[in-house]
Amino acid sequence: GEPLSKLYDSLEDAVEDWTPGQTFDFVVRQVPAKIRELSLDELVQALDPDGSLREEAKELRGVDSSPDEEALLSIFDDSPISSLEELASDCVRRTEETPREATDEKNAFTGLDSKGYRVINRSRLLRDSINQDGTENESTLMHVMNALVSHGVLIVDLTDGGTSYKNAEMMAKMWEATEDFFDKVSDAALASRLPGMTTVMEAGSHHAKVGYAEYDSGSMKFLETRRERKKGDLLPAEAKEVLGDDGRLALQSAFDIATQVGKDVIRIAVAASSVEHGAFLQNDGEESRDQKILASQAATLLANELVDDGKPLSSNLEIDSAEGDVSMSPHRLCRYADEGKGNGSSSREVFGAHTDSSFVTIVPVAAVSGLEVFDEEASKWYRPELKARAHWEAEQSSRGKDPSSLVEEITEGEPIPWHSRYLA
């Protein structure tokens, strides 16, 4: 192959020369996944110089006698992983060791009241909500990292506590289009006109697929869609005949909402990790506000590059780009159903324990709590959809409304299903 034009010894050196959309190649060999150079006391002091976060952690712990430092540092992974190979092996181990028994809603783990389990408002994740000095908001950062590291999932309220419904209304239309699609493809003749899972090399990978598939005698049904970058068309083209124009637009709008949330969450997580590892510390090694600003700026560029929203780069940007004609990010419609093949119990595992191959998975919260995420801190399968529903029901009750209706009345607009407010 062609020799590289320039080599870098560190990520921070490369970031200074890199612009969004610019292609790059890299080789990773035995990269340490965790390096602790500070003592526990030094790390706590660096993260929380004025002690405010430790006070907040103490409040969250309540009567728990655990040290404040443990509460603050619970967002960090203490595993002995030292390479990417070990990380891959650990993913396999955790998947194999997780419990397999199915649990009904009554007995499912729905999280606790600590910060990492709480629902976060969409606006808190926005780049516009960072501090005026250009650093990430510490409270938001701690919330996001605690949720992701300790519990594996973050629940986002698209309405900011029921104050802005535009995005939730879009998600409601997506759910309506999804229901309509799966109802229609229950007709085997119609389903047969859809292409099976087909590789789309225009996305830049032989792993990129579009198409329709059914497994386990119809217990699992999938429609894998992607966006054609220049025209914005939905692939596969045959799906548009089933979805209709309104359904196609609903799916594209929902995809846009989800990818923007994904970019913001990734930005915050990457910025936090960069600061933790001292990626932008000055040569003198002193902690400074500047490294937090640089970490946020670099994380923004990285998130925009990693999360493919299916849109072309702006034509007025002079960027060396080799983006494919089709988005790498899919929008997958899934329907899991228990077709009565269980062992007599009220619940059955339809889709087994697995780790997603994507960089990040964004799931619109559903009415049925089928999603389970293994909670590393609790060592239990956690159902975030039940936590989201509890959040909604508590909010409705506080406003004197009946939560049993499972729909939310909007002053200017049609009622929406409760779950269309949330992403996980």
DSSP letters spanning 145-210: HIIIIIIS---EETTTTTT--HHHHHHHHHHHHHHHHHHHTTSHHHHTTS--SEE-GGGT-TT-EE
Give residue 320's pLDDT.
57
Give residue 120's pLDDT.
97
Give residue 9's pLDDT.
62
Q: pLDDT tens digits for the chain (424 residues)?
A: 444 456 666 656 666 666 665 655 554 443 344 434 445 555 555 556 666 666 655 555 454 444 344 444 444 445 556 676 777 777 777 777 777 677 788 889 999 988 899 999 999 999 999 999 999 999 999 999 999 999 999 999 999 999 999 999 999 999 999 999 999 999 999 999 999 999 999 988 888 999 999 988 888 899 999 999 888 899 999 999 999 999 999 999 999 999 999 999 999 999 999 888 888 876 555 556 788 999 999 999 888 878 889 988 766 655 556 678 999 999 999 998 865 555 555 566 667 777 777 778 999 999 999 889 989 888 889 999 999 999 999 999 999 999 999 999 998 889 999 999 999 9
Give residue 72's pLDDT.
43
Give residue 307's pLDDT.
86
Give residue 21's pLDDT.
58
Could you give the C-alpha distances from 361 to 19, 241, 317, 332, in angstroms and in order? Answer: 25, 27, 29, 11
Give residue 189's pLDDT.
94
Could you give the C-alpha distances from 97 to 33, 51, 90, 109, 391, in angstroms and in order? Answer: 22, 38, 10, 18, 31
